[in-house]
Amino acid sequence: MMAMWDDAITDIRGRLSEENFETWLSPIECRKIEGDTLYLAIPNSFYAEWIGSHYLPLILDFLAQRQGGMNYAVEWIVDEKLQQAALTTSSQPVPRAVVSNQAPAKAKTPSGLSPKYAFENFVVGPSNQLAFAACMSAASKSGQHGNPLFIYGGVGLGKTHLVNAVGHRFLERQSAHRVRYLSAECFTNEFIWSLQNGKMDEFRHRYRSECDLLLMDDIQFLAGREQTQEEFFHTFNALYHLDRQIVVTSDVPPKQIPGMQERLISRFQWGLVADIQAPELDTRIAILRTKAEQENIPISNEVALFLAQTIHSNVRELEGTLLRLAVKAELLERTIDLEFAKEALRSVLPCADQATSVEDIQRAACEYFGIKLSDIKSHRRHRAVAIPRMIAMYLSRQRLGTSYPELGDRFGGKDHTTVMSAVRKIASIVDDDTIVREAVQTIERKLRL
């Protein structure tokens, strides 16, 4: 896993000037990779912001290509030892506050914005149209009503995308203006670092006077962090009184953020609070089409419909699945037709294909024990039949959540209390009885439950 990180760094080294590489990338240490999360240690929190907006997309693209389209997330770990190391080995000053004229003429001021998130590639549907409209308005008439704008919704539903889009639109109109996009976590880290290093004046300057638009993502991170909340409260007030637009996102509405000071909660409600819900089927299809077009992935309506029907909760998941599918198709030199999509999804998302039915479980149990389907539905009580039947009932209940009366019907018209006691019986012995456990596990594996 770590070799993959080294490869990514080597790849990027080839694309940057030596100076940039030494300054920004060589101080980073990849501490571990766990699941889809990279833990990157950095000398101070400015790195998170700068690397996040400048180099991280390159790194993540590289990793995604290597790992079948996997979308990695990054956890930053601020480690002061690295700061010391960077100071002693480098002749250059360790980067701290972002230098505003460091960026080439055409580039935006280092705002922390992610270039790929714009209004243009955001698909609007009933689930997000209020948030979308509110964001458009925040980007165009800063400081009027709708300040602050508070956007909330579950993970992967487009909050980060929308707030970045606000930043881009704002800069398009007034490129001289200063936009600060950062997560509340980044804000916290920077705040702590500034405090420890006697840089609070700079910190306050940066977020109070030198900021025309503040985009604060995932404010729920401040839960229980009293001191950072205090600082954010004053930041908020300063900007608000200067009529500067503030946009905040959260995974829950203001009142439900645990451990958040009342005075902040009330401020979050001064302006406009807008939610984002999980997208409806049509919106999911439209998102898939947009994404497929962007990435040049040829998918038919049929496949788009299948994916959208199978993955309903979260846009990030939807996107990730599409990308993995594309990578797989390319590797196997297959076209993405319905059959391929179904096959691929079965292995990628074990439960995605909702085809598993009570009957599938019955058949698998019969096959395992070598009995007939008619036996399992019969009223015979012989152990050779009763045990497979009880296991199939147990699995159907556990894995499919089918109701007891319905299971009674499916198993040849039995009383629901019979089913219930069978399920309980298996549940009570499955851990200790090796024969039963082996059967349950094998059937589960076979059906990818």
Residues that bind ligand ADP (CB under 6 A): 117, 121-123, 128, 153, 155-161, 287, 290, 315-316, 319
- The encoded tokens of residue 73 equal 């997330």
Q: Which does 389 bind (CB under 5 to 8 A by kind): Mg ion, ligand ADP, none?
A: none
123 or 392: CB nearest ligand ADP: 123
Count CB atoms within 10 A of the CB of residue 259. 11
Q: Which does 161 bind (CB under 5 to 8 A by kind): ligand ADP, Mg ion, none?
A: ligand ADP
**Helix, strand, or coil here: 227?**
helix
Q: Which among ligand ADP, Mg ion, none contacts residue 112 (Cβ within 5 to 8 A by kind)?
A: none
Q: How many chain residues interact with Mg ion (CB under 5 A)?
A: 2
Give the separation between CA 151 and CA 69, rounded to whole angstroms: 29
Residue 344 tokens, joined: 């691929």
Write out the binding residues for Mg ion, residues 22-61 only, by CB under 5 A. none
Least distance to ligand ADP, CB of residue 125, Å: 7
Alpha helices in 377-415 (DSSP H): 383-395, 404-410
Closer CB to ligand ADP, residue 68 or residue 156?
156
End-to-end CA distance of the chain: give it in Å, rounded. Answer: 28
**Pattern 115-154, binding to Mg ion, x per CB under 5 A?**
----------------------------------------
Chosen from ligand ADP, Mg ion, none, partner binding at 156 (C-beta under 5 to 8 Å by type)? ligand ADP
110 neighbors 100 (Cβ within 8 angstroms): yes
- Overall size of the chain counted in residues: 449
The helix (H) or strand (E) run that includes residue 54 is helix 45-54
Rounded Cα–Cα distance for residues 299 and 302 (Å): 8
**211-to-109, 110, 307 alpha-carbon distances in Å:** 11, 12, 42
CB of 317 to Mg ion, least distance (A): 14
Q: Report the phi/psi class of residue 296: left, alpha or beta, with left for phi > 0 and alpha for psi in -120 to 50.
A: left
CB of 395 to ligand ADP, least distance (A): 34
Which is closer to ligand ADP, CB of 217 or CB of 360?
A: 217
Residue among 183 and 356 whose Cβ is closer to Mg ion: 183
> Of the two residues 285 and 407, which places its CB atom closer to ligand ADP in the complex?
285
Q: Which is nearer to ligand ADP, 286 or 373 (CB)?
A: 286
Q: Which residue has the tokens 């101070």?
A: 44
**Cβ 241 to Mg ion shortest distance, Å:** 28
Nearest to 374 by CA among 360, 361, 389, 387: 389
Question: How far is Cα 34 from Cα 36, in angstroms, rounded to an integer?
Answer: 6
Closest approach, Cβ 109 to ligand ADP, in A, equals 22
Q: At closest approach, how far in Å is the CB of 309 from ligand ADP?
A: 17
Q: What angle (nearest 5°) sits at the alpha carbon of residue 38, between those of residues 33 and 44?
A: 130
Closer by beta carbon to Mg ion, 261 or else 314: 314
Supply the minimum distance, in Å, between the C-beta of residue 117 and ligand ADP: 6
Pattern 153-192, binding to Mg ion, x per CB under 5 A?
A: ------xx--------------------------------
Residue with structure tokens 């991280």? 56
**Residue 403: strand, helix, or coil:** coil
- Between the alpha carbon of residue 428 and those of residues 1, 405, 424, 431, 432, the distances in Å are 40, 21, 6, 7, 8
Q: Which does 155 bind (CB under 5 to 8 A by kind): ligand ADP, Mg ion, none?
A: ligand ADP
CB-nearer residue toward Mg ion: 199 or 291: 291
Whether the Cβ atoms of residue 307 and residue 321 lie closer than 8 Å to each other = yes
Quote the least distance from Cβ 155 to ligand ADP, whole Å: 4
Q: Kindly tell me which of 217 and 375 has the beta carbon lying closer to ligand ADP.
A: 217
Sites of contact with Mg ion (CB under 5 A): 159-160
